[in-house]
Chains A and B, each alone.
Chain A
């Protein structure tokens, strides 16, 4: 029997065979991103159950090595550039070279490493008289923390950036910082705080693109607060501004928000049309997996609420492909939580595999404690739905423990409400 005819290996089986050494880390990531699913026969498949054919991997190794070489060459180039800047006394140049390296890491999904580069740049920038580089570094760090779902840390970086921008009378940077603060507040469900930051940002800027995104943030706040007409007016205003600039990225985000607004109005067909329009615009942006996954998760949520569970699972599987291909564990964890929710709606106890996998992903090399707590919360609701109150209580207590250590009042309130329900049971 030739190698190609032999049954493929499961990802979990393959990873177990490879020692956990630094040199193999890119190969492990490559193995996962090139693994294949064997749909539609495996409804409970998670990433470890996908298949990998060593023969195909061998063929792909030169491509993987060339990608890794390119990435390393870029990082080394930035590092050497930083040294050269230092040598000629251009510390600001050195900071920007380090930030460029951080951006490279971010592009390949290595967020912890990206943070390390930028954090290093910040130490250097703090020594400079010109605060421009420090402001940019703080904004970058805020952005990274936000996408790592560390909203409070993100807010701290944005606060520092705002204070410096104010002192330097840099209105644009101040507006960007306000937008970041608004987004971080949105991420923590602090609607009033988010509204204040977005509004303050608008006072700083006359730039249409930035104003459009701030209006978009305000629209999302209004929707979350249930003021749907106000949200519509704000989103329309954002659309005018973004369309005038042909800001496709902004428009995709806007359509995503518009879909959520339509969903909040229970106009599912209109919501779906907005999400689909957002997805259709994405190719013109080039590679943007995070945005695509965000839209697909919203579509899935819509389908779950609509009771169209097979379609929700289809959409989640598409998002799963993206998350695996682009190595975005936090999205993958979210996707598995939602697959678990879809199974819970069908009272299918085999759905527990999705929650277990989500929790395992949250405990990875770049831990996601907030998401882990949410996964435990949803897992508990799943167990409660199936009548396992003891397990439900234990998961809620674990969620509580995590949230108390990282601080997240809103999710904690949801956990306490669920605990009260379980106790009553």
Chain B
């Protein structure tokens, strides 16, 4: 397996905007045509003969696109290439060339996120058109990240600029100093635990432990012993004495997340603890006094569950002395971008990377996503993006592949947050500056505004 000597054709504009293409295949005639197109479009095309050499080149260097000439078994090879590139750290786009590709083939390619399927011979016009489209997609406008002022909650931070969150902050401040039980409602990933921590941190038990239990994650048969502890040998698998979460939360706060997932039998036991303020370990006979503040959370409709006799009414009223309802991420407007900036900062720090901007396309993709998993999902997406990102800008290519494939198909819906006028203005100015190669005077003329006005806006938007 040796890398075949490549043909490098640096174009006249092989700088920031110069595309780097990796051609893979045997047929020299096809690539000669592409090389001519690349040259005229200011792109650089390097060619290797086989997949092994291509994989090495992809692992070693950064490419805008890989152009593969599929000779035999194009269907099989298509899936192979799509899978390989999807998981590559720098994710180049995939362009495939095949003799007489069928519609079925083209559809499958589209499903796999292939940038373009070209019939062989490619033809100069089609080749140029492809490279122009590729360049357009590569040219994303970089927008500055908003400044974020997180609210410190002990070791944790909360981020919000959204009016919908103000009453929540107010309630936290009001309820924290008391010892009242709090019920936090909201979809998974909306930050229920963070709010619980905030209540604990600002309350009289802040020096005591904060113990969190996710009732939905723990297998039913383990939950009781996890909460109350067990003695060694109490049941199969009880290989050691275990101190339960109630005991561990003594003089502090116990946070029971997803309490709606708890069985009725266990609900009764929780109620008993709240009434008698003591617990018994599984397999133990001695009552152990516990003094805990209980905060519960759920993503389920407990009132409806009470109606269906699946949640105890008496427990509900003991838990819901104060209720805090958290909004979905989709309902938090520009918090999406503020949180993105925050997570980029946090994960960037850990990865030794600093982010200064986000491209317009990446911001659009983030806004277009449904966020079923709310802030936790956003956090995961950004954590992954930071790992694959190079440079100081979050780009569309750093976001999940399936989003990008679908991005052109996302319809404008009422649910999708509307882009701000400031952002449109920033993008337009950036495009004008790109067009004038950074000349502010020329850009001002193009935009029909005074040079000083444009300079002020450039400063304001951090362009």
Contact = CB atoms under 8 A, between A and B. Distances in A.
B222 A41 contact: no
A311 B387 contact: yes
Nearest to A48: B219
B76 A12 contact: no
Contacts of A269: 59-60, 89
A44 B239 contact: no
Contacts of B216: 42, 49
A299 to B, nearest CB: 9
Nearest to A40: B373
Contact-residue bracket for chain B:
35 or more
Interface string B237-270: 1011110000000000000000001000000000
B377 A279 contact: no
Nearest to B189: A41
Contacts of A314: 384
Interface string A7-18: 100101100100
Interface in B201-235: 212, 214, 216-222, 232
B217 to A, nearest CB: 3
Contact of A16 (B51, B80, B220): B220
A40 B376 contact: yes
Contacts of B339: none
A127 interface: no
B374 interface: yes
Contact of B217 (A45, A281, A311): A45
A308 B387 contact: yes
Contacts of B217: 42-46, 49, 350, 353
Given A42-B216, A42-B217, A273-B55, A280 B83 contact: yes
A295 to B, nearest CB: 12
A310 B261 CA distance: 26
Interface in B378-404: 380, 383-384, 387
Contacts of A391: 240, 242
Contact-residue bracket for chain A:
35 or more
A168 to B, nearest CB: 41
Contact of A310 (B59, B220, B222, B380): B380
Contacts of B88: 272-273, 276
B232 to A, nearest CB: 8
Given A276-B84, A390-B240, A44 B387 contact: no
Interface in B87-108: 87-89
A132 interface: no
A41 B76 contact: no
A273 B58 contact: yes
B375 to A, nearest CB: 10
B214 A44 contact: yes
Interface string A374-416: 0010000000000000110111011000000000000000000
B384 A283 contact: no
B298 interface: no
B123 interface: no
B239 A395 contact: yes
B295 to A, nearest CB: 16
Contacts of B89: 269, 272
B154 interface: no
Nearest to A390: B240
A104 to B, nearest CB: 29
Interface string B70-94: 0000001001110110011100000
Nearest to B85: A276
A363 B221 CA distance: 15
A324 interface: no
B372 interface: yes
B188 interface: yes
A270 interface: yes
Contacts of A393: 240
Given A273-B56, A273-B88, A394-B232, 8 more contacts: A7-B300, A12-B220, A49-B216, A276-B83, A280-B81, A283-B79, A310-B384, A390-B241
30 contacts: A10-B261, A12-B219, A13-B220, A16-B220, A40-B377, A41-B372, A41-B373, A42-B188, A42-B217, A43-B376, A45-B217, A46-B217, A46-B219, A48-B220, A49-B216, A269-B89, A273-B58, A273-B84, A273-B88, A276-B87, A277-B51, A280-B81, A280-B84, A314-B384, A350-B214, A353-B217, A363-B237, A376-B239, A391-B242, A394-B232
**Shortest 8 CB-CB contacts between residues of A and residues of B:** A394-B240, A44-B217, A41-B188, A280-B80, A41-B373, A269-B59, A398-B239, A40-B373
